[in-house]
Structure 1
Amino acid sequence: MARAETTPDTMRALYKSILHGNMAEVKTQLCPAIMGDLSRPVTPRGDTILHAAISMRHESIAREILKKCKQGTVPLLSKQNAMGDTVLHEAATTNMTCLAKDLLILAPDLLDMRNKLGETALFRAAHYGKREMFELLADIFDKKELEPNQKEALDHLKRHDGTTILHITILAEFFDIALDIAHRYKVLVNDKDRRGMIGLQLLSSNPLAFKSSSNCGFFKKLIYHCVPTQDTEKKESCRRDTHESDHQPKQPSSNDFLICVQCLSMVVRKLISVPRKIYASIWRFLCLGWPVMENISKEKIKHKSALKLAHLLIPKDLSWEQSEYIEVEDRISIRKAAARAEEEEAAKKLKEKKRQLDRIDGGGTPDRSWPEELPRTPPEEGQPISLLLATSTGIVEIVEEILKLYPQAVEHVSDMGHNILHVAIQYRQLKIFRIVKSKEIAMFRLVRQLDQRGYTVLHHVGVTKFQTRGTHSGPAFHLQEELRWLKRVKRIMPPHYEMHLSKEHDETAQEFFDRTHKKLLKEAKQWLKRTSESCSTVAVLIATVAFAAAYTVPGGSDQSTGVPVLLYDYFFLIFTVMDVLSLASSLTSVVMFLSILTSPFELESFRHSLPRKLTLGFTFLFFSVAVTMLAFAATIVLIVHLKRRLTRTLIYTAAFLPVSIFAILQFPLYVASLSAVNFTRKLIRKVLPNFCLPRRFRKNPTLPIYKSQ
C-alpha cells in the first residue's frame, strides 16, 4: 500500500485544529503521513507542529503529539525554529512544568541548547517571569556535577551580549525571581552587562519600581496603605527557607520540650493569622470587582519585592570606593577670560624666549622647571555608580540604604567631578538633597567641590537638560520652583563661591542661571498674561451680573416707597449679603489680575510677588463664583416660594454644581499657587520674635553649613 503524502492543505487543517484547541480533530488528523513529517515547519518562524501546540498553551495536544511519535523523538525535540528556539524554549514561556519534565526525560540535552541570541530555556523562563518553570529548570541544573557558583557553570545563565538572568529579570520587573536568582547564584550580583552595568545599577535606573518615585493622589495613597501583602511575603519567605534547607543538613531534635514549644508557637501564629486572613479575603473580593484595587495591590507587591532585592544587592556593591578627585577642587576663579588669556599668552612668550636662549647656549637640556603644558581634555563620562543613579532617578530607598551601610559613600566623586550633591541639584531631587544636607560634616566638603567644567553646586541649578515639567501646573510655577532651588543652594554654599567663574562659559552661577532660563522666563510671561487676561474677563462678567442684580431685586419693589417687597424675608438677606460679597470679591480679583498684567515680569518677581498675586486673584475669583451661585439659589427660593426642605436642598445642590466643576478643574493650579501662603508664614516668622509665635511656628537658630566650627 502506497504511503500517503502530506500536503499543504493537510498541514493547514492540522494547524487550525491546534489553534482552536480541538483535540478530537487533532487525533483524527495525526495520520501516519503527518507523523513521519512532524519536523516540517508550519509557520514563517519555522515552528513545527509541536512548537505551535506548546506556544498556543495546549498542553494536552502537545502530549498527544508526543504520544504518537515514540520513535525518532529526539531529533523532533531538538528541532529549532528560525530564531533557534527548541520546544523547551517554548515550554519555558509557560508554566507547563510537567511537560517540561517529560521533554527533559526524552532529550536531556535540551537544557543546554541555545537560540540565536544565546538564551537557554532557563534564561527564557526567567525572562518571561515564569517562576515555577524557572525553579524546576534551575533545580535540575543545580543537581549537575558543577557547583552552582562556579563561573564555568554560569555560562548558561548569560546570553551572547553578556546579559545575565539577573539583569533580564530586573529589566522585566520580575523582582521576586531576581531575588531568588541573587540567592542562588551570588556570582551574578556584580556581573556586568555590555554597557558595564551591574544589577543594582539597573535597579537604580527604574524609579517606578519604588514607592518614593510613584506619584499618588490622596485616595490612591489611602488604598495603598490598606492593601495587605502578608500572604505574598509569607510565600517568599517559605520559598527562601525551602531553598536554604536544601543546602543545609537537617538536624533532628530529640528534645520533647522543644517540640512542644514549637507546636504551641505554631498554634499561636495560626490564631493570630486568622484576622489577617479575613482581612486579606475581603481585599481579594474587592479586587475582583474593582480593577483599580488589584492594580494598586500589584504595585505595592512590586515595590516591596524591589526593596527586598535592593537590600540584598546594596551590601555587595562597593563601586563607590573608586572616586576621581580632580585638581580644580576648591579653586575659585574670579578673573574674566580676557585677563586669563593675557596671562597665558605672556607665559607662552616667556617659555619661547627661554627655549631660544637654550638654543643659543649650545642646545643644552631644557630647564625642567619650564615644562611644556599640553591641553587637558576632560575624561569621558562612564556609567555612574548605583548611588548617583539612584540620586538622579529619585529613589530615596536605595540612597538611604547605601548611606546607612556605607556613610563614607557620600563623598564619592564621579569621573566628571560630580558628587551626590551635584547630581541631586541637577535632577531637582529635593528629598535626597535634604538627606545629604542633614550630614553636616560631609556637606562642609561637598559644597566646595568643583566639577570638570569648573561648576560649583550653584552652577548646577542652571543646568536644565535633566528637568521635566510634568509635576508643574504652568511655566510660571516651574520658574518659581527654579528660583527656589537657586535660593536653597545659596544658603548652603560659601558666599564667595557665588563670584566663581566657570571654565566652560566664563560665567558666575547667577549669569549661567539667567542665560539658561531665558526661554522659560519668556514662556512664563506669556502664560501668566494669558491666564490673567482670561480670569480678569470672567471676574468682570461676574461683577457686571452682581451689580445688575443689586438694582433688580427679586420680587420687585413697592411703587410708592421703593422698598423691596421681600425685604423682611430671611432669604432676601442672604441674597443681599451674597450679592455684595460677589461684587466685592470679583472686583478685587480684577484688581489683582490687572496688577499682574502691569508688572515688569522680571525674573526675581516670579519667586514671590507674581505667584502671590495670582494666588489672591484665584482665591477671590473662586469665592465670587461661589457666592454668586448662592445668590442665585436664594433668588429662586424667594420667587418660587418653595416650602419643602428636600426641594430646597436640590436647588442648592444644582446651584453648587458649577462651583464644584470649577473647583475640580482649577484645583491643581490653585494648590500650586498656594505656595505663596508658606512664604507669608515664613515672613511672619522672620519679622516677629519667637515669644510672639506659637510653639510649633518658632524657629530654631542653626549655623550655616559653610561656617567653620
Structure 2
Amino acid sequence: MESSTSQSKKISNLDNVQPAAEKDLNFYLPLYRAIRDGDWEKAKRFFDDNPGAINATITDEKDTPLHLAVKRGQKINFLHKLVEEIPPKALELQDDSGSTALHVAAALGNTRAARLLVTKHQLLLYIRNNANYLPVHLAALHGKRETTFYLLVFTKDDEEANLFGDESGALLMRFAINARFYDVARYLLQRYPQQYMRLSMGQTSKGIEKNPTQEEEPGPLEDIAQDPSAFPSRTRFNIWQRFIYYCVPLKLENFSNYSDEEDMENTQVPGKNTYQIQSFKGNCIVSGCKKLRAIIWRVLDSLVPYIKHIHDTKLLHHQAVQLVKHMCNEAVRLDNTNSSLILKGSFLSAAKYGIDEIVQEILSVFPNAITFKDKGGHTALHLAIMYRHENVFNIINQQSGDYKEFLLQPFGDKKNNILHLAGKLAYQDRLDFVSTALLQVQRELQWYKEVEKFVLPRQREAKNKDEKTPLMVFIEEHSKMITHEEQWMKSMANSCTVVATLIGAVAFAAAITVPGGNNSGGDNAVGNNNNALVPAPAPAPVANNSTDEGLPIFRNEVAFIVFNVSNALALFSSLSTVVMFLAILISRYATIDFLYTLPNRLIIGLLALFLSVTSMIISFSATLYLVSGQKELILVPLAVLTCLPVTLFVFLQFPLLLNMIKATYVPTIFSSHKSNKKG
C-alpha cells in the first residue's frame, strides 16, 4: 500500500494529458454526450480513437471524463469500466478547484463510486483541493453521512501523517456538527481534544492571527446549543410518538477503530449497512430476548418508515447528549478563565432555546456558570423567564443557592427585576405552544405567580425607572391579549348556551312524551293506546288493575330505564351548562380571573355540555330501539350511529377540555420546582 505521507501533492507530467488538453473542447462533445447518456460503447470507441482523451480536460471547469462521469451520477458499471481504463496515477487529476474525482464523489455522497476509487488508489484519500479540504471534509460539509463514515474509516491517520492534528481536524469537527454527525464529532473530540479547545476559544493553528473585523464564530458547543431540535427536551411528540420513542431500541453506528461501551445500548452498525446484534452481559435467556426484540424492531423499521424516523430522532438525541457531556468534561479540564470562555456562550444559548440537557450538564460540571451574563446583562435565569422555558427555570431555581441574591439584582437601563421580566408578554412562538386563547393568559399568569414566589417580598412592588411595578407591566403588556380572550370566551359561551338550551328543550319534550305512550285503562292496554307508534311484538304484561292506568307501557323494559336515566341527565346537565355559561357572560373579566375562575367555569360548562350531548344521544337511541320493536338486528347499526357524533365531539372539543383541566388543576409547568430557601 502506498504511504499516506505522500498526501497533498500536486500531479504533473502525466502521459498523454497535455496533447489532448490542447484540442478545442468541442472536439470532446461526442465523448461528453456518451458520458452523459451512460453509453460505454461510444465512450470506449472514442478512447480507442483518441488515447489521450481518457485523461483530458473536456469542460471549462477542467473536468476529466472521470470527473464528469461521477458528476453525472452514472451507474457503477460505467464507472467501473472507466476506472479500469485509467492508470492509478491519473486518478489524481484535479479540476480547476483542485478536486479529484474522489472529492466529487464525496461531495455528492456517491459512496459506491468512492469505494471504487479508493480500492484502486488509496492515496486519493489524502489529496487536498484548493481549499485545503480532504474528500472526507467535503462529504461532511455536504451532509453525506454514509460517505463520511466510509472515508473517515479508511483515511489512515497515523502519528506520522497527523491528518487531523492540525486545523483540518477542527474544520472536520465543525462540518460534522453542522451536519448533525454528532457521533463523528465525538470520535474526533476523543482523538483530538486540542482541536476542540482551539475551535472553542476561537484560535487558529500555526499562530495565525484572526482578523479583528471578522465576526467571531461560535464554538462547537455553542453550535449545538443553537440546535434545539437535536435534544429530547425541545422535541414535541404526541402520545403515540412518545410511546414509540421510549420503546424503540437504538442501533448505534460505530467506527472500526472507535468503540464505547456506554454508546452501545442495543446494537451496532458495522462498516456496511447491516446490523449486527450485540447482546449485553447476562444469561442466555436475557440475551436471546434482547436479540429477538432488536430483530422485531429491525423488521418494523423496514416496514414502517415512520418508526424509522422516530428511531433516527432518538439516535440523534442520544448522540447529541453524549457529545455535550464529553465537551463539558473536556472544557473543565482547563483553568477557570478558559473554561468560562468555552462554556459561557453555550450555557446562555441553551437557556435561551430551552435546552435543559445542556443547562443541567454545564451546571453539574461548572456551577459558577449560573453567573454568566450576555451583552444585555441577562443571566440564564433572565433568559429562561423571557423565553418561557419552565424546565430551565426549574433547574436554575433548584441550584441557585448562594447565587440567589445575585440573580435577583435589578439589571438594565430601566432597572427591572425578574418579576418585571415575567410581566412582559412572551414571544409569539412560545404563546403558540398553547392550544387556546384562554390558556395563553392563564399560562402567562402562572409564570408571573411562580416568579413572584422566587423574588423577595419587597421586589413584588418594586418600581423600575418608568415608575411601574411588575403587575402594572403585566397588565399593560397583556391588555390586548386579555381583550381578545374576553371576546373569545363570550363568543364561546354564547354558542354553548344556545346548544345547551336546545338540548334541554328536547329532553323536556321527551320526558312528557314517553316512547310507546302510557296505559289508558281497559283490558288491552296496548290496543287502547292511541299514542303507540309501533306495537311491540311482545309487550310487557300489564296488570288489569286500575293502578297501572297512566303509566308508561314500556316501564318494565331495560331500554326504557336507559331512556329515563339518560333523558334526565341530558335535561339537568344542559341546564347546568346554561347556568355556567351565563356566569361566564356576566363575569367581570379581571386579569386575575383568567388564572382560575374563568377556566374553572369553562371546564365545568364544557363537561356539562359533553354530558348533556352524550345523554341526549343515548336517550334517542333507547327510544328508537323501543319503538322499532326491540329487534336485536337494530342494535349494531344503532350503536355505530350513536358513537359517531360522540366521537366527533370528543375529537373536536375534548382536547380543549383536557388541556384546560391539565393547566388548571394539574399545573405541570413548574411541577419539578422545589423551593430553594438558601440566600
TM range (shorter): 0.7 to 0.9
Matched, 1:240 2:259: yes
State the Cα RMSD in Å. 3.7
Q: Report 1:160-199 matches (<5 A).
A: 164-190=171-197, 191-192=199-200, 195-199=216-220
Q: Deviations over 1:373-403 (max 9, x none)?
A: xxxxxxxxx9962122112222222222112
For residues 412 and 337 of structure 2, the distance between their equivalents in structure 1, rounded to whole angstroms, comes to 17
Give the 3 Å change call, closer, same or farther, for CA 383–545 of structure 1 in structure 2.
farther
* Residue from 442, 445, 454 that aligns with 1:480: 442
For residues 124 and 669 of structure 1, the distance between their equivalents in structure 2, rounded to whole angstroms, comes to 49
Give the 3 Å change call, closer, same or farther, for CA 102–579 of structure 1 in structure 2.
same
* 3-state secondary structure, aligned to 1:599: coil
* 3-state secondary structure, aligned to 1:497: helix
Q: Deviations over 1:397-448 (max 9, x none)?
A: 2222112122232233334222222121112111222222223523532442
Equivalent pair of 1:630/1:652 in contact (CA under 8 Å)? no
Equivalent pair of 1:126/1:134 in contact (CA under 8 Å)? no
Query: Which residue in 2 is equivalent to 1:489?
Result: 451
For residues 648 and 211 of structure 1, the distance between their equivalents in structure 2, rounded to whole angstroms, comes to 47
Matched, 1:609 2:625: no
Query: Which residue in 2 is equivalent to 1:459?
Result: 420
Query: Which residue in 2 is equivalent to 1:78?
Result: 94
Q: Report 1:310-321 matches (<5 A).
A: 310-317=324-331
Matched, 1:598 2:614: no
For residues 568 and 183 of structure 1, the distance between their equivalents in structure 2, rounded to whole angstroms, comes to 81
Q: Is the deviation greater in 85-94 or in 200-209? A: 85-94
Q: TM-score, normalised by structure 1?
A: 0.74
Q: Report 1:396-475 matches (<5 A).
A: 396-439=356-399, 441-442=401-402, 444-453=404-413, 454-464=415-425, 466-467=427-428, 468-475=430-437
* 3-state secondary structure, aligned to 1:232: strand
Q: How far apart are 1:493 and its partner, in Å?
A: 0.7
For residues 680 and 72 of structure 1, the distance between their equivalents in structure 2, rounded to whole angstroms, comes to 70
Query: Which residue in 2 is equivalent to 1:284?
Result: 298
Name the count of aligned residue pairs. 585
Query: Which residue in 1 is equivalent to 2:212?
Result: none
* 3-state secondary structure, aligned to 2:252: helix
| Percent identity (aligned) | 27
For residues 431 and 215 of structure 1, the distance between their equivalents in structure 2, rounded to whole angstroms, comes to 14
Matched, 1:549 2:570: no
Q: Deviations over 1:575-608 (max 9, x none)?
A: 1211111111112112212221222222111111
Q: Report 1:135-154 matches (<5 A).
A: 136=151, 140=155, 142-143=157-158, 145=160, 147=162, 150=165, 153-154=166-167
Query: Which amino acid is 2:440 matched to?
Result: H
Q: How far apart are 1:647 and its partner, in Å?
A: 4.7
For residues 476 and 47 of structure 1, the distance between their equivalents in structure 2, rounded to whole angstroms, comes to 63
Matched, 1:657 2:618: no
* Residue from 551, 558, 567 that aligns with 2:555: 567
* Residue from 96, 99, 114 that aligns with 2:130: 114
Matched, 1:51 2:72: no
* 3-state secondary structure, aligned to 1:654: helix
Give the 3 Å change call, closer, same or farther, for CA 441–137 of structure 1 in structure 2.
closer
Query: Which amino acid is 1:666 matched to?
Result: Q
Give the 3 Å change call, closer, same or farther, for CA 204–677 of structure 1 in structure 2.
closer
Equivalent pair of 1:149/1:187 in contact (CA under 8 Å)? no
Equivalent pair of 2:91/2:100 in contact (CA under 8 Å)? no
* 3-state secondary structure, aligned to 1:79: coil
Equivalent pair of 2:54/2:65 in contact (CA under 8 Å)? no
For residues 246 and 384 of structure 2, the distance between their equivalents in structure 1, rounded to whole angstroms, comes to 28
Equivalent pair of 1:542/1:586 in contact (CA under 8 Å)? yes
Query: Which amino acid is 1:574 matched to?
Result: V
Q: How far apart are 1:612 and its partner, in Å?
A: 0.7
For residues 88 and 345 of structure 2, the distance between their equivalents in structure 1, rounded to whole angstroms, comes to 55
For residues 676 and 442 of structure 1, the distance between their equivalents in structure 2, rounded to whole angstroms, comes to 32
Equivalent pair of 2:36/2:69 in contact (CA under 8 Å)? no
Equivalent pair of 1:208/1:214 in contact (CA under 8 Å)? yes
For residues 187 and 703 of structure 1, the distance between their equivalents in structure 2, rounded to whole angstroms, comes to 41
Query: Which amino acid is 2:404 matched to?
Result: F
Give the 3 Å change call, closer, same or farther, for CA 140–568 of structure 1 in structure 2.
closer
Give the 3 Å change call, closer, same or farther, for CA 10–705 of structure 1 in structure 2.
same
Q: How far apart are 1:627 and its partner, in Å?
A: 0.9
Q: TM-score, normalised by structure 2?
A: 0.77
Query: Which residue in 2 is equivalent to 1:585?
Result: 573
Q: Is the deviation greater in 124-133 or in 564-573? A: 124-133
* Residue from 611, 619, 622 that aligns with 2:610: 622
Q: How far apart are 1:562 and its partner, in Å?
A: 4.7
For residues 345 and 190 of structure 2, the distance between their equivalents in structure 1, rounded to whole angstroms, comes to 22
Query: Which amino acid is 1:409 matched to?
Result: A
Q: How far apart are 1:297 and its partner, in Å?
A: 1.2
Matched, 1:63 2:80: yes
* 3-state secondary structure, aligned to 1:656: helix
Q: Report 1:504-515 matches (<5 A).
A: 505-515=466-476
For residues 139 and 559 of structure 1, the distance between their equivalents in structure 2, rounded to whole angstroms, comes to 98
Q: Is the deviation greater in 265-274 or in 494-503? A: 265-274
Q: How far apart are 1:33 and its partner, in Å?
A: 4.1
Q: Report 1:347-386 matches (<5 A).
A: 385-386=345-346
Q: Is the deviation greater in 561-570 or in 26-35? A: 26-35
Q: How far apart are 1:45 and its partner, in Å?
A: 7.5
Give the 3 Å change call, closer, same or farther, for CA 57–498 of structure 1 in structure 2.
farther
Q: Deviations over 1:54-103 (max 9, x none)?
A: 2416333223223334499367x21236xx65422212133244334257
Matched, 1:209 2:230: yes
Give the 3 Å change call, closer, same or farther, for CA 100–70 of structure 1 in structure 2.
closer
Give the 3 Å change call, closer, same or farther, for CA 90–550 of structure 1 in structure 2.
same
Q: How far apart are 1:113 and its partner, in Å?
A: 1.2
For residues 564 and 593 of structure 2, the distance between their equivalents in structure 1, rounded to whole angstroms, comes to 39
For residues 639 and 88 of structure 2, the distance between their equivalents in structure 1, rounded to whole angstroms, comes to 83
Q: How far apart are 1:313 and its partner, in Å?
A: 0.7
Equivalent pair of 1:53/1:59 in contact (CA under 8 Å)? no
Query: Which amino acid is 1:165 matched to?
Result: L
Equivalent pair of 1:88/1:121 in contact (CA under 8 Å)? yes
For residues 89 and 161 of structure 2, the distance between their equivalents in structure 1, rounded to whole angstroms, comes to 30
Q: Is the deviation greater in 185-194 or in 24-33? A: 24-33
* 3-state secondary structure, aligned to 1:196: coil
Q: How far apart are 1:309 and its partner, in Å?
A: 0.7
Q: How far apart are 1:204 and its partner, in Å?
A: 1.2
Q: Is the deviation greater in 441-450 or in 130-139? A: 130-139
Q: How far apart are 1:40 and its partner, in Å?
A: 4.7
* 3-state secondary structure, aligned to 2:222: helix
Q: How far apart are 1:138 and its partner, in Å?
A: 7.1
* Residue from 483, 486, 491 that aligns with 1:525: 486
